[in-house]
Amino acid sequence: MKEDDDATLVRRCRNGDRAALEQLVMRYQKPVFNVALRLLRDSEDARDVAQTTFLKVFEHLGDYNPSFKFYSWIYRIAINESLNALGSRKPCEGLNGEEADTAPGPDRQLEGEQTGQAIEEALMRIKPELRAVVVLRHFMQLSYQDMGDILLLPEKTVKSRLYSARQLLRDRLLQRGAI
């Protein structure tokens, strides 16, 4: 059976079609959960963010302008909710230009650790706004333009943040002998 595109599903949702709503949840629960998980590194928090994201989406579905991509809208909400969740963990985290540090527990020796774990830890040690760009590029495979649309930033700023984030990750991973 052919699946409806996002715009069709949204239109059906606005007409009160519960099945369309369920399809949107099915389609986006995994990417939304993963965006939140990569930003928060906590499965429980990511689940809460995913739930809140869908609630907000459906609360404002009547206001959604279909000339914009639905996934840009839902990812933007997911990122904002994740940043909210981070803010409630540690006020002012990463907002003052200093490098944030949200990794749980003390530094550990890298020996024996997988590169994947090392990079996840390094990710949590960069500012949330830099982490968001990495998540959209490397986990969601989005273009610079889509990232700009989601983050409400010019492409130039998106690139600048992405490059800075990668270099910070590289410095951390080199420091720990992970690359």
Partner 1 sequence: MADSGRLALIHAEIDGELDGPQRAELARTLLADPEAQALREDLRRVCAALDALEEVDPPQQLRQSILDALPQSTPSRAPPWWSAPRLRHAALIAGVLAAGTIVYETLDGPRPATSDVAGTIATADTPTTVDTVRLGNGAVAGRVSLYRDRAGLGLEFELVASAPVDVLVASDGRTLGVNGLGVRDAPGGPRTTVALPGFGRSGEAVDVTFLMAGHEVGRATLRAPKDR
Q: Give, as ranges, the residues between 74 and 93 that touch partner 1 (CB under 8 A).
A: 76-77, 80-81, 83-84, 87, 92
Q: Does 158 sit near partner 1 (CB under 8 A)?
A: no
Q: Does 62 sit near partner 1 (CB under 8 A)?
A: yes
Out of 4, 64, 93, 103, point to the residue binding partner 1 (CB under 8 A).
64
Radius of gyration of the chain (CA): 18
Closer by beta carbon to partner 1, 5 or else 167:
167
The DSSP code for 73 is: H
H helix or E strand, kind and range, residue 14: helix 6-14
**Measured between alpha carbons, how far is 77 from 39 in angstroms, rounded to an integer?**
13
**Measured between alpha carbons, how far is 105 from 82 in angstroms, rounded to an integer?**
21
Out of 1, 2, 59, 104, point to the residue binding partner 1 (CB under 8 A).
59
Least separation in angstroms between residue 153's CB and partner 1 is 6
Closer by beta carbon to partner 1, 5 or else 145:
145
Burial class (CB in 10 A: 0-12, 13-18, 19+), 15: exposed
Out of 8, 26, 90, 175, point to the residue binding partner 1 (CB under 8 A).
26
DSSP string spanning 150-167?
HHT--HHHHHHHHHHHHH
Q: Does 112 sit near partner 1 (CB under 8 A)?
A: no
Q: Does 125 sit near partner 1 (CB under 8 A)?
A: no
Out of 4, 93, 173, 176, point to the residue binding partner 1 (CB under 8 A).
173
Judge whether 13 and 21 are in contact, CB under 8 Å: yes
Out of 113, 125, 139, 176, point to the residue binding partner 1 (CB under 8 A).
139
